Amino acid sequence: MSRASFSTRSLTTDGFNRLAAGKPPEAGLELPAGGLSPPEVLAMLAGISGSLRESIEPNAWMVLDHNRIIALCSITRLVEPGVVNIGYGTAPGEEGRGAAKAAVAGVLAWSREDDRIRVVVAETGLANTASQRVLQANGFQVVGERSDAEDGDLLCWRWDKPAERSSGGA
């Protein structure tokens, strides 16, 4: 059995607002049967996307299995110039198919081409081994731990943009 092939596409703030209202972000796209995430989470993500719009865009992406949205990944904050924090999630029932890995890979592909980005960071719960595997598979390294009142104990991850290769010309 072959693994699914996913595509990644940017998601606008307006698209997030449509998702929060239970509608596809664009014509021709479908939502998964169980939905992507609770409406309040999608509304929160829409707010974050809107607040980042003037600083960095695109700032969110969706993973498609044909025309069905199955995962999301977004910049959750600008840590400092050149450093962004990301978060990601897969629709219920779609876990374990590689969609989160594809989502993070899509963001990293974008960041390699965007001169504003040099580092991407993320956090995972200590017990969230599936999310840890997603980051490991995409080349992130654990750089520390911290405790959060809401999220508990977290691993802190970092991905550094590869140095540009010299073209060899003088």
Cα dist from 93 to 15, 32, 42, 154, 161, whole Å: 22, 9, 18, 25, 32
8 Å CB contact between 59 and 12: no
60, part of any domain:
yes
**133 against 168, higher pLDDT:** 133
pLDDT tens for each residue of 124-135: 999 999 999 999
Q: Assess if residue 160 is contained within a domain.
A: no
Any domain includes 135: no
Most confident of 55-59, 158-162, 166-170: 158-162
CATH assignment of the domain containing 13: 3.40.630.30
pLDDT tens digits for 136-153? 999 999 999 999 998 899
Total number of domains constituting the chain? 1
pLDDT of residue 1: 35
- Domain-located, residue 153: no
State mean pLDDT over 43-53.
91
Is residue 58 domain-resident? Answer: yes
Structural domain containing residue 86: 7-122
Q: Confirm whether 128 is domain-assigned.
A: no
Structural Rg of the chain based on CA atoms: 16
Q: Is residue 169 one of the residues assigned to a domain?
A: no
18 domain residue, yes or no: yes
